[in-house]
Amino acid sequence: MSDTVQPAKRPARKTWNYTPALPIRLAPYWDWPLRPLESVFYLLKSWNPVAMRFVMLLAAIATWLWFTPDIERAKTVAFGWVFEVWLRNFLILTGVAGGLHLFLLRFRLQGDDYRYDLRPMARGAKVFSFKNQVYDNMFWSFVALQFWTFWECLMWWSYANGWATMITFDRNPVWFVALIVLIPIWAGFHFYWFHRLLHVGRLYTWVHAWHHKNINTGPWSGLAMHPVESFFLMFDTMIFFLVPAHPIHVLFLLFHHGIGAPTSHAGFERLKVGGRDSFEVGDFFHQLHHKFFDCNYGTWETPWDGWFRTFHDGTPEGDAEVKQRRMQLWTK
Ligand SMILES: [Zn+2]
Ligand SMILES: [Zn+2]
């Protein structure tokens, strides 16, 4: 046995400061053979009143009741009602992304509790506009805000002119409720295919690489992307030209991006208010995508990452699998 003293090995840096219980799992909706009971239970859980989905629905209802111009006014395009929509969206974006940023990263009101990755937002890094990750992210989020407003106004204009079919709760209560349940699945469907396409060839290097500058993400990173990406991100709203719906559905779908992206990129699994666990915000599934790229293109509710073997469950074995796949691609 040698008695020379070996220099102490520096412990490998922990990838995550916090993770939810691992392995994370995909929703059982698409399992074969079907698992109807588990699926219903999982779906009900996804509507947890202290998580984002439920809040986005409440926000959609409140926004429709009190903060949306009368559809009649949208018959002709005019500065007044379009500006009202823009201003309301501006306040939502600034309130959600800015509020979370101040709470979590600026004033650090919960320290590093529930924080996935401890690395700070980058400063002085040339890859970011203004050499500052937060300023870059804010700027490109405000660009995305223009398109968010565009798609929304297009829908109001179309409803007002009868180009898209509007339903009411009184006349179509069953479809009204069913559509609320289906919208998150539709949002995930569109997100997966659009996002998967953006990872192909030049589309990645020219467009989507902008969003991936954020290896660690903060609330402003959610909508920080190339304008081509932020333009098509909310293109899923155009489903309402085919599917009769109510403006609450339109707002609910738009909020999956306008509110859902800043919260899911917050970098924290939960908010602690007054030192107590309260609200689920983050999305570890997507956090893994930012860290490892070639995995978790969709959402935990969509089946394709499972079917195409790109699902990363957050475990070290998952890390190894992604690295292995990357090596195979290089050696092909
Ligand atoms: Zn991506
Ligand atoms: Zn992202």
Give 137-176 pLDDT, tens digit per residue: 999 999 999 999 999 999 999 999 999 999 999 999 999 9
Q: What is the largest CA-CA distance in the chain?
A: 87
Q: What is the pTM of this model?
A: 0.93
- The answer to whether residue 217 scores a pLDDT higher than 50 is yes
Query: What's the pLDDT at 277?
Result: 82
Count of CB atoms situated within 10 Å of the CB of 322:
18
How many A from CA of 184 to the centre of ligand 1? Answer: 19
- The answer to whether residue 313 scores a pLDDT higher than 80 is yes
Mode of pairing for the β-strands spanning 276-280 and 270-273:
antiparallel
Give CA–CA dist 102/98, Å, rounded.
6
Query: What's the pLDDT at 15?
Result: 86
Query: What's the pLDDT at 50?
Result: 85
DSSP secondary structure letter of residue 85 = H
How many A from CA of 219 to the centre of ligand 1? Answer: 16
Alpha carbon 253 to its chain's center? 12
Using DSSP's 3-state secondary structure scheme, residue 277 falls into strand
- Average confidence (pLDDT) over 87-109: 97
- Average confidence (pLDDT) over 6-10: 58
How many A from CA of 64 to the centre of ligand 1? Answer: 32
Give CA–CA dist 293/165, Å, rounded.
39
- The answer to whether residue 2 scores a pLDDT higher than 60 is no
Contact 26, 308 (CB under 8 A): no
- The answer to whether residue 225 scores a pLDDT higher than 70 is yes
Question: What residue ranges in the chain does DSSP mark as E strands?
Answer: 270-273, 276-280
How many A from CA of 284 to the centre of ligand 2? Answer: 11
**Mean pLDDT, the chain, as a whole number?**
93
- The answer to whether residue 258 scores a pLDDT higher than 70 is yes
Which of 2-11, 71-80, 268-277, 285-294 has the lowest average pLDDT? 2-11
Query: What's the pLDDT at 1?
Result: 44
How many A from CA of 137 to the centre of ligand 2? Answer: 12
How many A from CA of 77 to the centre of ligand 2? Answer: 33
The beta-carbon contacts of 294-300 under 8 Å, at least 24 apart in sequence, are 294/199, 294/322, 294/325, 294/326, 295/322, 297/192, 297/195, 297/196, 297/199, 298/188, 298/191, 298/192, 298/195, 298/196, 299/187, 299/188, 299/191, 299/192, 300/24, 300/25, 300/26, 300/27
Give CA–CA dist 328/332, Å, rounded.
6
Give CA–CA dist 158/189, Å, rounded.
24
Query: What's the pLDDT at 127?
Result: 93
How many A from CA of 163 to the centre of ligand 2? Answer: 33
Contact 184, 298 (CB under 8 A): no
Give CA–CA dist 173/175, Å, rounded.
6
- Average confidence (pLDDT) over 168-191: 96
How many A from CA of 40 to the centre of ligand 1? Answer: 29
